[in-house]
Structure 1
Amino acid sequence: MEKMKLLLFGLSVWLLGNNNLHAQSALPVSGESNSTFLVVHSSPNSDYITLELLGVKQAQSFQIFGSDGKEVYQGRISGTQLIEVSTWNSGTYYVICGAQREKLSVSR
């Protein structure tokens, strides 16, 4: 049953991560219980992205990198955090929290 849950979870993350209209995905954060997830919300042409850390009480470090590998943002998250991306170039970015990596797109 656990393998089936992981398979379905992975498929839903893949499907959501490939949606060009908006991205909303949840990934388990390494080192935490199975009920801890990083959720990334973004919409094209929006000036903000939202990160949510669910199922954990302590703040977790995270970084956001551009496709060129340069860090564009770093911080600690506990709960929900809104990040302004209005000055970022259009393109693909990666949110790293623990051992998890989530892809998001910013378009202007």
Structure 2
Amino acid sequence: MPAPKTPPTGEPEPTADVAPEPPAAFEYIAPFATVYLAVPLTARPAQPGLPATDEDPGTAATPATVFAWPDGAPDDGRWTATRKKPNQQPDNMPAEPRPEA
């Protein structure tokens, strides 16, 4: 049996005053690599990799660049919003130290 409806009190229903957070991570979808000089960032497409043969060890697949654009990705049709974790920092960021083995 459905719950009885409560009569309206004349007060509006509370709504969230916070707008939904826009996506901050974007995946590079163009079929070619490009450089954004203002960031600086080298964006690369996904590479499927090659299987190993008797003569060649093959190559592993590499994912496309996923970058955290704080103000949104450039509006050039090369990026799509994603929930993936960013996998690249600006090219001029120092590398993270390797963990001690």
Same fold (TM over 0.5): no
Which category of TM-score, normalised to the shorter sequence, fits these structures? Answer: under 0.3
User: Which has more helix, going by share of residues?
Assistant: 1
More strand by share: 1
**Who wins on radius of gyration, i.e. which is larger?**
2
Task: Report the TM-score, using the length of structure 1 for normalisation.
Answer: 0.22
Q: Greater relative contact order: 1 or 2 (C-alpha under 8 angstroms, separation 6 or more)?
A: 2
